[in-house]
Structure 1
Amino acid sequence: MLCERFMPTQDTILDTSRRDSSSASVPPCPELLAPAGDWECAKAAVENGADAIYFGLERFNARMRAHNFTEADLPKLMEFLHLRGVKGYVTFNTLVFANEMADAEQYLRSIISAGVDAAIVQDVGICRLIRELSPDFPIHGSTQMTITSAGGVEFARDLGCNLVVLARECSIKEIEKIQAAQSATETSAVSALPLEVFVHGALCVAYSGQCLTSESLGGRSANRGECAQACRMPYELVSDGKNVPLGDKRYLLSPQDLAGLEVLPDLIRTGMSSLKIEGRLKAPEYVANITRVYRQALDRVYKELMGGEAPESSHAAKLMQQINSESRYNLEMGFSRGLYTGWFRGINNQELAHARFGKKRGVYLGEVGRIQGERIALKLKAPLKPGDGVVFDAGHPDQDEEGGRVYTVDVRGQESLIGFGHGDVNFRRVHIGDKLWKTNDPELDRKLRQSFEGEKPQFQRPISFEVHGLAGKPMTLIVRDEVGNVVKAESTMPMEVAQNQPLSTERLREQLGRLGGTPFVLGELKNHLSGSVMLPVSELNKLRREVVIELERLRVQPKRWTLNAVTEAAANLSLPDQSSRAGNTDKTSELIVLARNLEQLDAALKCGVQTLYCEFEDPKKYREAVSLVHCASGCAAPNRTIWVAPPRIFKMGEEWIMKIVRSSNADGYLVRNYDHLNYFADCRRTGDFSLNIANRLTADYFKNRFGLERVTASYDLNFTQLEALLKSAPPEWFEITIHQHMPMFHMEHCVFCAFLSEGTDYSNCGRPCDKHDVKLRDRVGAEHPLKADAGCRNTVFNSLAQTGAEYVARMMALGARHFRIEFLNETPEQVVQTITKYRQLLRGEIEGAQLYRELKLLNQLGVTRGQMAG
């Protein structure tokens, strides 16, 4: 079947039988997945062609600012969705803390019982919990899991996931490599795991699941659905201590919005199972608008591909140009910070973030040419009419901007005079050369709202009919829907021989196709009547109504997933044997030091630190670091070890970086992503913070399944949550970072390349990251260091070091013994001073409050209590 919808009467009829592709060379048409922050958004998505929606409940979802649904809404919501042939996925895509696991289990039981089609999950422990509750309830691995490789996909499969949402940073070529790796290992027993990508909406600059900015700056964790959108704020670029003049470019970390419309043919060809629209915080008009655009485009593109058109052909290219041209206005009016294909076509740091504003603009109308009283003159670049809303862009989007409703549009040749209501616009703040943007189109909003208002279904899905019968026997009517429901009914009277108007296929289609007011439209009709026969119209209508009512009844039945009445979840959530904690109280606490250059490493070495970590921008220097430590140790420190860290992100084709890291012959390795687990499987390994370990089930999975020596507690935990973690599992499992500059943004976007070069990526940027010390100055004057790693990914670190010193004694009382301190730009002298103070703290010679005060005075080190203070 084609992806296109059979549309005999209107353009909103859907043929969902499309997913069975009749062409071996074209994968099935991907599902179109739309966001729903509330009931209106759910209706907007359904009535405009979504195959599925995703939505959150009151807790445990990554958009806590959305209205969200409640547990009590689930049965009614799923009934509505399933009647309309739409799936519903619950977002359970946050980290879950140890003291919340019982509540999480209750939530999951409600979700599974309500017949929800899947849960979108970030937390490894929650994936495990779901599988203990139900062996068949579908799990979709969230983009918050930061899956960027075939190894990550395989990790998700082993965890029990049924689908994976890839990181937004994956290009089409990288997706192809992931799919190729899946195909290479596919067997009759193990098929490729379905993949999903975001196709439209806000583009996070940092890797989802790896952004600690909101947590670091305000205690509002993005991994808990409380992102404060610091990436949308203005920053100044400071290079080697001097401001870099960038003109009107101030929003250095704010990418343009993702618009994958023009790469739909490539996404289909790669075999994507689902295309996801971002926007659970958006209005229902936005949901209706973007869903409709992608529904219509997807159907047109798929029809072309099924007709044998190659994605790269000139005809396909012309089709995409036409679709883009037709849809651009609607997309920009929906919501736009600028529209761009993101990382789908690879890295282009000059295009990703234009840096001129970080909020919605809409459609560009042109520059102010003249100001005439309370009117302006300009050459319009897009349609404008009275009632539309506009804003004047004077190049200062962080300040209040002038704008309002247009009253008059007077076209005079190539120039248009735009008038406003008296006093609505302060023209003293409007200047020649200001850009004018159209931010609202009431007429478009009305049309969009009409698409989902009212009770009558406006978007219909085809059902197929079969008619059987002969004279003297009842007519049999069989109907099938797109999800496999089958209904059969027989007429209450026998068919008769037709004297003049037999039941032809055309007459049957006319009568059976009268499905107005239902969620259905007549699709395929098979006429198996024998001879020239007839049946009264009233009886035929009665049959049609009967099968439709029964089909609706079948469709709204909740899905019956297996839900174990007695599970192992309770055992997994119980406290560990307290004797293990008591036996740990006499062990000496260990101070672990992470250095970011050889000078810091040498200083830590001279302090006698036994366990040393290195995270260098250039992993080629690891060999020198290992040699330095091994040579210094000898017989004097036989137990001293040096561990090195590979980059946090791994992508297909970057094996060379891990080979360099491994060739250092370090004593151990910091595991930071799923590929590291296997690549360094025969080595000593410790799980780093990037694994997002926030509860016992997650900690147990990484530590014991993969044989890690320790795991690092998530940086999202405040002390209360950390305390719950240490009480829920053996404390010797954990390493706790008590001093660091929080790694806030970790991103594919390279600020060095974008604003200190004219290059697009590492191949032509000239490597300014090797030549300059760069910081980003925020609105309050804080200068946050910027670093690049071997994969050219950037990390923005908090300018202030944070310390958990005041909680160390309480952690030690709970049995914690492994404490880490991390350095960034500190001098060797500062390294020595800081190590000395923390050693005194661990020995009980000073208290945490005293250390906090002294750190604030040490060489003007900036220090904050950080997220651990809550």
Structure 2
Amino acid sequence: MNRTDKVELLAPCGSYDCVRAAVSAGADAVYLSGTSFGARAYAKNFSDEELIDTIGFAHLYGVKVYLTVNTLMKNKEIDSLFSYILPLYEAGLDAVIVQDIGVFDYLHKNFPDLDIHISTQVSTSGRYGASFFKEHGAKRIVTARELSLDEIKDIHDNVDIEIESFVHGALCYCYSGQCLLSSFIGERSGNRGRCAQACRLLYLKEGKKDYLLSLKDMCTLSILPEILDAGVYSLKIEGRMKNAEYVAGVVSIYRKYVDMYLEDRAHYHVDDEDVIKLMDLFNRGGFCEGYYKDNYPKDMLTHKKPNHEGVAVATCVNRLKNEITVKADLPINKGDVVEYGDKYDHTFSESKKKGDIIKLKVTRECRCKAGDKIYRIRNNSLYEELDKDYISAVKKLDISFKLKAIVGEVLELTADCLGYSVVISGDTVERAESAPVSASRVETQLSKLGDTPYKLVSCDIDISEDAFISMGVLNSLRRSVITLLEEKMKNSMNRESVEQSYVMRRDASDSAALADMEQVRYSVLFENGTDYMASLSETLVTRIYLEDPTISDDSLAKLRETKEVYYAFPVVFRKSFMDSLGEKDLSRFDGFLIRSMEEYAYIKASESLKDKAVICDATIPCFNDYTKLFLRSLGLSTTASYELCREELLDKIMDDEMVVYGHIPMMVSARPIGEAISGDITDRKNETYHYVNDFAHNQNRIYSARPLYVRESGFLRQRIVMTAHETMSLRMILDCLQTGKSTDRACTYGHYIKGVM
């Protein structure tokens, strides 16, 4: 397709310096977080006052500001959300980015003219999900990073909604929003903005340690035209934890190539020097292009180290006990920092040319040997250039003045910039007694704009030949008109205040008493490869969920004689899986367990399925009652979140189904671990995690090291998860749950006791 609409380049900002850098480097929009509700809790972030100042500063340059409100929120936290958003809404905030479905509904109802973007944390993967969120008020979706160009184009061709996709920066191993690894290992939830980066650690597999879950950063310069042709409107750069130099460098380079695409698509090409600059700024063992063109990219892992590797600028040619000799493969700048031998670094006090021989001091323990590469981890010259051009510099806007100075009339100065115009008046112009002021002298004085954000490009002066204006008056007039214009431009998107119109109200029936164990009825989720017919003899089991849609009619009929049988959709509903379901008769099932709103919309679009019962799994997080009520309004029941503790669960409307036993998927990833169907990996604490690769549908799972086991949860309906590697029989598990006996293995309460940060 030929694009006629403007492409948006979206920059990450974790500090005000990053905002200045992004604006100066050519970003069309920035995304950032306040001190609450953002998915980067460990970034510097912005106070409420700084957010308002930042909105004004960005709007001065025509740059939009998007606020991340993309964490899951508990009931007590949502109470403060309206007062948090209101002053930002009044200041002209352009959009909010959300993950929590209850927050989405809450903000849309309370701020109906505030644009809402659906975070990548929701894992929107197709046209049905995009259509659902558009129907309920979303302006934009941020696609899952794992989508192919074809999948994105399918959304673009079928749903009239803005598409935002990541084009540069870090990649998560797991589908965003579906990771519990950090949460279960360190009680720091990625869904709450506190990811502990567990995927960047070493893991042991088949006797060998490797960074099995650490992916390279993405760089898409070479395929940028294809991404835009597929229908992506907003090109998103990852990196709210990065510094201002990173933001300036990455934004300026992508600005160059977006403009090249828009101006001359046919002659688009990428300069190698720009890729090296990007690598100097940050890379993990090089770059990859993500999943845009390949479901299983081969060279995607960072085998050497999980953090910045830098650029290879020299090679070790000789090793002595306390010294290495290296040869420069690239020019090295004064102030550059290189790294070698795992933990050694050196800062150059003078520049080196390509081919220069350099001697560096080491100790006996240094692992560097002849043939090893020396990596530059700080390009000082590049950092200084970026600071000079984008960070310390004030970006200038073209301004035009029109001065009217007619003797006997009021002095007037008009300023115009980017379609904004202001006029300020002074005193009556007097006749000069001796030396009248000249037009050129006036223009010189008006052009003295100093460190303001403006530069004078034209000055129309209508002045009487005998007019007198003091330089002090001109200076005061210039300063006043600049202040007035800047205020008008900064406040151009301000809104009138609004009253809170939507506050949750519970019914008395929503505070149900806790269930006795005698009242409990059990559901069982049978994952692929498990014996679901074992449930036939268990009268306490009244519902089963099957992941296999190909179950025979006879087996299904046998199960349905005594139990409800639901089909369990995959965690992420990709187009390939959706297409394969076209051959299956899902109407044979009593209902469905869905793992995304994509699947809900798919079901409702089918005449044969739309009236079936549907329950949301924990992968559609129900963290608060706003989510509960929104889903209930759609006819959906819910599953209790794995990340809420008992007290928090009791604070919610008590009609969830709760998982009380089973190995929980810690990660669901598009990338398999190795080539085997299944296996195990072990972490630094000697905890072993089983994994299962589903090569057909990009649904690869890593399970909790220990099964979850929670008794006396108080929920009327409780669920058991049977995985292929489960060693206990269903009968044994039910017996433990009913009698309170210990299981025959080490288990975990998960977050049932403490909850998560």
Please give the range of the TM-score, normalised by the shorter of the 2 chains: 0.7 to 0.9
Distance 1:579 1:386 in 2: 68
Distance 1:717 1:157 in 2: 29
Deviation of 1:695 after TM superposition, in Å, equals 0.9
- Number of the residue aligned with 2:181: 213
- Number of the residue aligned with 2:396: 460
Distance 1:579 1:330 in 2: 57
- Number of the residue aligned with 1:786: 691
- Number of the residue aligned with 2:132: 155
Q: 1:339 to 1:514 in 2, by over 3 A?
A: farther
Quick check: 1:125–1:698 contact (8 Å CA) kept in 2? Answer: yes
- Number of the residue aligned with 2:435: none
- Number of the residue aligned with 1:556: 490
Question: Which residue, 544, 555, 560 being the options, matches 1:628?
Answer: 555
The letter for the 1-side match of 2:279 is E
- TM-score (normalised: structure 2): 0.87
Question: Which residue, 626, 630, 633 being the options, matches 1:704?
Answer: 633
- Number of the residue aligned with 1:735: 657
Q: 1:633 to 1:165 in 2, by over 3 A?
A: closer
The letter for the 1-side match of 2:241 is L
| 1:361-384 superposed Cα distances (whole Å, 9 cap, x missing partner) | 111235423124654334543332
- Number of the residue aligned with 2:300: 352
Deviation of 1:546 after TM superposition, in Å, equals 5.7
Q: 1:661 to 1:613 in 2, by over 3 A?
A: farther
| 1:571-592 superposed Cα distances (whole Å, 9 cap, x missing partner) | x1x4431586259889922111
| 1:740-780 superposed Cα distances (whole Å, 9 cap, x missing partner) | 212111111122xxx33xxxxxxxxxxx53xxx32222223
Distance 1:645 1:508 in 2: 76
Distance 2:467 2:276 in 1: 51
Deviation of 1:782 after TM superposition, in Å, equals 2.7
| 1:104-141 superposed Cα distances (whole Å, 9 cap, x missing partner) | 33322343244322221111111121123222122222
SS at match of 2:299: helix
SS at match of 1:581: coil
SS at match of 1:80: helix
Quick check: 1:94–1:122 contact (8 Å CA) kept in 2? Answer: yes
- Number of the residue aligned with 1:13: none
Quick check: 1:257–1:336 contact (8 Å CA) kept in 2? Answer: yes
Q: 1:329 to 1:614 in 2, by over 3 A?
A: same
- Number of the residue aligned with 1:715: 642
The letter for the 1-side match of 2:357 is L
What is the correspondence of 1:820-831 to structure 2 with a 5 Å cutoff? 820-826=719-725, 830-831=729-730
Distance 1:468 1:264 in 2: 50
- Number of the residue aligned with 1:69: 46
- Number of the residue aligned with 1:44: 21
SS at match of 1:690: coil
The letter for the 2-side match of 1:775 is D
Distance 2:467 2:294 in 1: 63
Matched, 1:254 2:159: no
Deviation of 1:153 after TM superposition, in Å, equals 1.8
- Number of the residue aligned with 1:18: none
Distance 1:652 1:562 in 2: 43
Matched, 1:326 2:273: yes
Q: 1:742 to 1:370 in 2, by over 3 A?
A: same
Matched, 1:592 2:523: yes
Distance 1:611 1:535 in 2: 96
- Number of the residue aligned with 1:867: 751
Distance 2:24 2:592 in 1: 52
- Number of the residue aligned with 2:434: none
SS at match of 1:42: helix
Question: Which residue, 536, 544, 556 being the options, matches 1:605?
Answer: 536
Q: 1:584 to 1:176 in 2, by over 3 A?
A: same
Distance 2:237 2:466 in 1: 49
Deviation of 1:599 after TM superposition, in Å, equals 4.4
Quick check: 1:44–1:287 contact (8 Å CA) kept in 2? Answer: yes
Quick check: 2:332–2:352 contact (8 Å CA) kept in 1? Answer: no
Quick check: 1:384–1:409 contact (8 Å CA) kept in 2? Answer: yes
Quick check: 1:406–1:419 contact (8 Å CA) kept in 2? Answer: no
Deviation of 1:257 after TM superposition, in Å, equals 0.4
What is the correspondence of 1:419-498 to structure 2 with a 5 Å cutoff? 419-420=359-360, 426=364, 428-451=366-389, 458-463=394-399, 480-482=416-418, 484-488=419-423
RMSD: 3.7
Q: 1:79 to 1:828 in 2, by over 3 A?
A: closer
Structure 1 residue runs without a partner (length 5+):
1-23, 183-191, 394-399, 496-501, 757-767, 841-845
Quick check: 1:402–1:429 contact (8 Å CA) kept in 2? Answer: no
Q: Comparing 206-215 with 288-297, which one deviates more in the overlay?
A: 288-297
| 1:5-24 superposed Cα distances (whole Å, 9 cap, x missing partner) | xxxxxxxxxxxxxxxxxxx9
SS at match of 1:290: helix
Question: Which residue, 83, 89, 98 being the options, matches 2:75?
Answer: 98
Matched, 1:749 2:671: yes
Q: 1:667 to 1:100 in 2, by over 3 A?
A: same
Deviation of 1:172 after TM superposition, in Å, equals 2.7
- Number of the residue aligned with 1:136: 113
Quick check: 2:334–2:381 contact (8 Å CA) kept in 1? Answer: no
Question: Which residue, 378, 381, 388 being the options, matches 2:329?
Answer: 381
Question: Which residue, 665, 674, 691 being the options, matches 2:620?
Answer: 691
- Number of the residue aligned with 1:9: none
Matched, 1:287 2:235: no
Structure 2 residue runs without a partner (length 5+):
432-437, 605-609
Deviation of 1:684 after TM superposition, in Å, equals 1.9
Distance 1:489 1:283 in 2: 41
| 1:548-568 superposed Cα distances (whole Å, 9 cap, x missing partner) | 333212023274335432423
Quick check: 1:389–1:406 contact (8 Å CA) kept in 2? Answer: yes
Matched, 1:35 2:12: yes
Matched, 1:364 2:300: no
- Number of the residue aligned with 2:508: 577
Deviation of 1:225 after TM superposition, in Å, equals 0.5
The letter for the 1-side match of 2:340 is F
Quick check: 2:22–2:248 contact (8 Å CA) kept in 1? Answer: yes
Deviation of 1:655 after TM superposition, in Å, equals 2.4
| 1:184-221 superposed Cα distances (whole Å, 9 cap, x missing partner) | xxxxxxxx322222221111111111111111222211
Distance 1:825 1:862 in 2: 18
| 1:615-655 superposed Cα distances (whole Å, 9 cap, x missing partner) | 54xx45x323x632422554xx3xx1111212121234542
The letter for the 1-side match of 2:681 is L
- Number of the residue aligned with 1:657: 580
| 1:793-826 superposed Cα distances (whole Å, 9 cap, x missing partner) | 2111112112222xx2xx42xxx31111112134
Deviation of 1:252 after TM superposition, in Å, equals 1.9
Quick check: 1:252–1:355 contact (8 Å CA) kept in 2? Answer: yes
Distance 2:140 2:226 in 1: 20
The letter for the 2-side match of 1:669 is F
SS at match of 2:522: strand
Deviation of 1:223 after TM superposition, in Å, equals 0.3
| 1:301-331 superposed Cα distances (whole Å, 9 cap, x missing partner) | 14xx33xx33xx3x22xxx222xx2312321
- Number of the residue aligned with 1:21: none
Question: Which residue, 687, 707, 726 being the options, matches 1:801?
Answer: 707
Q: 1:627 to 1:26 in 2, by over 3 A?
A: same
Q: 1:388 to 1:750 in 2, by over 3 A?
A: same
Distance 1:54 1:509 in 2: 39
Question: Which residue, 579, 590, 596 being the options, matches 1:673?
Answer: 596
Aligned residues: 739
Deviation of 1:232 after TM superposition, in Å, equals 1.0
Distance 1:260 1:237 in 2: 31
The letter for the 1-side match of 2:187 is G
Q: Comparing 219-228 with 370-379, which one deviates more in the overlay?
A: 370-379
Matched, 1:405 2:364: no
Distance 1:747 1:823 in 2: 20
Quick check: 1:211–1:745 contact (8 Å CA) kept in 2? Answer: yes
Q: 1:533 to 1:665 in 2, by over 3 A?
A: farther
